[in-house]
């Protein structure tokens, strides 16, 4: 059996289903999760700016 391909296909199916659920039901994403995501984006942006200034 090709477990690698089977695993990859099931992962793709899972993420597709999850994406569809989120598109139909955006409230599934908790407010806290969104806040953490934006904090991460802000941190990455600041880090990239700092790294660019060093170069």
Question: Where are the domains positioned within the chain?
Answer: 3-54
Contact 28, 21 (CB under 8 A): yes
Query: 16 or 47: which carries more pLDDT confidence?
Result: 47
The 10s digit of each residue's pLDDT in 14-42 is 778 777 777 777 776 677 788 888 999 99
In angstroms, the Cα distances linking 7 to 1, 13, 43 are 11, 10, 33
pLDDT category at 45 given cuts 50, 70, 90 is very high
Return the pLDDT at 43: 92
Residue 10's Cβ-side half-sphere holds a number of Cα atoms within 13 Å equal to 5
């Amino acid at each position: 059996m090709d477990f690698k391909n089977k695993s990859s296909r099931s992962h793709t199916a899972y993420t597709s289903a999850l994406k569809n659920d989120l598109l139909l039901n955006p409230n599934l994403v908790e407010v806290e999760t969104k806040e953490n995501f934006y904090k991460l984006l802000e941190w990455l942006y600041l880090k990239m700016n700092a790294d660019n200034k060093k170069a």
